[in-house]
Amino acid sequence: MCLAIPGQIVSMVEGTAHGALVEVVGVRRRVDVSLVEPDGIAPGDWVLIHVGFAMSKIRADEAIDQLRMLSVLGEEEAAKQEARGYFDEESP
Amino acid sequence: MKFTDEFRQPELIARTADEIRRAADPARHYRLMEVCGGHTHAIYRFGLKDLLPPNIELIHGPGCPVCVLPMGRIDDGLTMAAENDLIFAAFGDMMRVPGTHGSPLEHKARGADIRTVYSPADALKLARANPERQVMFFAIGFETTAPSTALTLMRARAEGIRNFSVFCNHVTIIPAIRAILDSPDMRIDAFIGPGHVSTVIGCRPYEWIARNEGKPIVVSGFEPLDVLQAVVMILRQLQGGEARVENQYRRVVPWEGNRAALQAMAQVFTLRSYFEWRGMGFISQSALALNDAYAEWDAEKRFEVPGIRVTDPKAAQCGEVLKGVLKPAQCKLFGKECTPENPVGSLMVSSEGACAAYYQYEHRKEELISIPA
């Protein structure tokens, strides 16, 4: 639970507060980016995600290291499951 | 050296391990506590202990949210859900944690409406999707997770969603560290500070540990190299007779923390005057509750809390392991009555729990070694 999942911002979701479409370990999900908005974020940026909320902005190379570490820690499957688990905005 | 091929920068790792050996005084025994369960998991997984000289001992700290939750709170949550016909929503980590009458998963098998969510925001979506039902989110976690609960509650309030409530079990890391330092059976030389908690709270809240207690603390990332570098930074401080807060995880942790996250927490939560921690007893001002502005969404105000208190099984020594007094394998139940498949104590449930991590990596290694050739 303490490990964070890196994701790349695909687009900002218009018409919703603080929402962004983020690609997380191969799935696209809506993630709340209000906690990193003050740092300035844009599509292409990488963020560390914890329980559906982006917690900090990171560099692309760090994101790749983090993904690699999740896989070595055996947490990659859990991360995928978590990312898949975030509800789509459309779904209930 | 174990797992060398999996290390990202093997040469750098080897160099850092050498540096540790040079910086450590062979006449001295060092006890370093890694506060965060994520570090505990990484330390076992990467076999980092094998890279340290024998006089550097790593003590596992209380930073595993599932592990520190007393069983009575799980019982309370499940009882409140059953008595009020609530949808009980919680993170997957919670689902296998034993309550007196079974884990949430076992309650679900018996017909309780229990849902796994991956985000507090998803618990709120459950409430939107089920307007005729009441949804209670069982919130756990340190300061890493608390801001997400806060933002979710702010949204519930803004949207006027009234069939949603939070059973708040968020805890804060600083009072736990203080309790460990105050504990008479504990002797810690320095701390490896939590990584992701610090993205929220920053490094300042640790300053008293250095200033008043004279202990170095180095906030660290989770990669093998991060942890080893943190150990070097600690040893250098100890060598020079210094005690400072240092930030090894600068690429993620800003010194001042995340202001937006802290503001969200301040808007929604208030400090409890005390809270019970598993194995550590009552610690003052160590947990969060919803403040009066959020009373309508506070499960503890909306529903009757049974206030169940359960003494941990005598034989299980979760408390001693949690405080770092005992190593996982020194507990009488470890690997016998208590295994990841059939956990008695919560430290055996979460992958960040010291017992589960030790069982998964170290214990198996010993089993392999003990097989006669």
Is the pLDDT score of A23 beyond 70? yes
Do the domain assignments include residue A25? yes
pLDDT at B70: 92
Q: By C-alpha distance, which of B231, B186, B194 is closest to B213?
A: B186
Is the pLDDT score of B352 beyond 50? yes
- Token pair of B110, please? 């018996």
Angle at A51 between CA B40 and CA A88, to 5 degrees: 145
Q: Do A86 and B252 count as a contact with CB atoms less than 8 A apart? A: no
Cα separation, B309 vs A60, in Å, equals: 47
Q: Do A53 and B151 count as a contact with CB atoms less than 8 A apart? A: yes
Q: Can you list the positions of beta strands (E) in A1-92?
A: 5-12, 19-24, 27-32, 46-50, 53-58
Counting the structural domains of chain A, the total is: 1
Q: Based on the number of CB atoms within 10 Å of its own CB, is B313 exposed (0-12), middle (13-18) or buried (19 or more)?
A: middle
Angle at B164 between CA B162 and CA B168, to 5 degrees: 130
> Looking at per-residue confidence, does A39 or B87 come out higher?
B87
pLDDT at A48: 94
Is the pLDDT score of A13 beyond 90? no
Cβ neighbour number for residue B227 with a 10 Å cutoff: 25
Q: What is the pTM of this model?
A: 0.92
Report the first-to-last Cα separation within chain B, whole angstroms.
21
* Phi and psi torsions of B312, nearest 5°: -65, 150
Model ipTM value: 0.89
The closest CB to that of B148, out of A52, A75, A81, belongs to A52
Do the domain assignments include residue A91? no
Which of A3-12, B188-197, B198-207 shows the lowest mean pLDDT across its residues? A3-12
Whether A60 has its CB under 8 Å from any CB of chain B: the answer is no
Interval B54-96: pLDDT, tens: 999 999 998 899 999 999 999 999 999 999 999 999 999 899 9
Do the domain assignments include residue A28? yes
pLDDT at B2: 42
pLDDT at A85: 74
Q: Do A3 and B260 count as a contact with CB atoms less than 8 A apart? A: no
pLDDT at A90: 42
Task: Please count the residue pairs, one from chain A and one from chain B, whose beta carbons lie less than 8 angstroms apart.
Answer: 123
> Looking at per-residue confidence, does A65 or B97 come out higher?
B97
Where does the pLDDT of residue B125 fall: very low under 50, low under 70, confident under 90, or very high at 90 and above?
Answer: very high
Is the pLDDT score of A24 beyond 90? no
Interval B236-247: pLDDT, tens: 999 999 999 999
Interval B206-224: pLDDT, tens: 999 999 999 999 999 998 8
- Amino acid sitting at position B121: A
The closest CB to that of A51, out of B64, B118, B223, belongs to B118
Do the domain assignments include residue A92? no
| CATH code: domain of residue A9 | 2.30.30.140
Q: In B, which residues are within 8 Å of A58 by CB distance?
A: 251-252
Do the domain assignments include residue A42? yes
pLDDT at B7: 62
Do the domain assignments include residue A90? no
Is the pLDDT score of B342 beyond 50? yes
pLDDT at B362: 78
pLDDT at B22: 95
Q: Which sign, positive or negative, has the C-alpha torsion B75, B79, B80, B82?
A: positive
Contact B280, B68 (CB under 8 A): yes
Do the domain assignments include residue A27? yes
Is the pLDDT score of A89 beyond 70? no
In sequence order, the 6+-apart residues with CB closer than 8 A to the CB of B75 are B99, B100, B101, B306, B308, B310
Whether A24 has its CB under 8 Å from any CB of chain B: the answer is no
Where does the pLDDT of residue B373 fall: very low under 50, low under 70, confident under 90, or very high at 90 and above?
Answer: very low
Whether A89 has its CB under 8 Å from any CB of chain B: the answer is no
Please state, rounded to an integer, the average pLDDT across all residues of chain A: 83
Q: Which domains does chain B have, with CATH numbers?
A: 1-307 (3.40.50.11740), 318-365 (no CATH)
> Looking at per-residue confidence, does B68 or B366 come out higher?
B68
pLDDT at B234: 98
Interval B166-190: pLDDT, tens: 999 999 999 999 999 998 877 899 9
- Supply the range of the domain harboring residue A52: 5-85
pLDDT at B367: 55
Do the domain assignments include residue A80? yes
